[in-house]
Structure 1
Amino acid sequence: MSPEHGPRRSRVIMVEPALTQLAKLTASETHRLDRAIVAVSVNPELGTEVPGTLLRDYVDAIDGVRVIFYVTALRTVTIVAYVEA
């Protein structure tokens, strides 16, 4: 028997505004943000829809991070548009 696999993760791509913000973060902030990005790559339904767009706004109040992203139609790629920690 084959082992049971966890949820499939999408590939994550960061666009320029997110990369600019990422460059300003400390190691601790980056670590907290990594957990949020993994969460949205596994579950693209996290967060709330931004009205009138394809974007979703995910805030993790415990880790104090925010990720604005959208997912491709086949849910194989998550595009991160903005991050803050």
Structure 2
Amino acid sequence: MSSEHAPRRAQVIMVEPALSQLQKLTASETHRLDRVIVAIRVTPELGAQVPDTLLRDYADDVHGVRVIYYGMALRQNTIVAYVEA
């Protein structure tokens, strides 16, 4: 598949409290979180739908990371509300 036809990745925007949690992470935890954020950018439907909300809750047990987020219309933006590593 040429890059011209590659799937578009969503832009990731972090809001409070995700930003304050991010500042508390070690370099190793940030690296693990980065891998999960890339996966969410490519496939925004990862994670379980949180009932009665637009939020999705994705926990990656292999990397020990949890991200709560929601995708905007047309999958152009992914808003990260909470991170845990």
Task: Report the TM-score range of the alignment, normalised by the length of the smaller protein.
Answer: over 0.9
Q: Which residue of 2 aligns with 1:20?
A: 20
Structure 2 unaligned runs (5+)? none
Cα distance in 1 for residues equivalent to 2:56 and 2:42? 14
Count how many residue pairs are aligned between Structure 1 and Structure 2: 83
More helix by share: 2
| C-alpha deviation, 1:74, in angstroms | 1.1
What is the correspondence of 1:1-85 to structure 2 with a 5 Å cutoff?
Answer: 4-5=2-3, 6-85=6-85
CA RMSD of aligned residues (A): 1.0
Give, in angstroms, the shift of residue 12 of structure 1: 0.4
**One-letter code of the match for 2:83?**
V
Unaligned runs of 5+ in 1: none
Please report the TM-score for the alignment, with normalisation by the length of structure 2: 0.93
Whole-Å Cα distance in 2 between the matches of residues 41 and 50 of structure 1?
19
* Superposed displacement of residue 49, structure 1: 0.1
* Deviation beyond 4 Å, 4+ runs, structure 1: none
> Using the alignment, how far apart are the partners of 1:61 and 1:16 within structure 2?
24
Cα distance in 2 for residues equivalent to 1:7 and 1:32: 23
The two structures have a TM-score, normalised by structure 1, of 0.93
- Letter of the 1:4 counterpart: S
What is the DSSP-based 3-state SS (H/G/I as helix, E as strand, rest coil) of the residue aligned with 1:57?
strand
The residue type paired with residue 18 of structure 1 is A
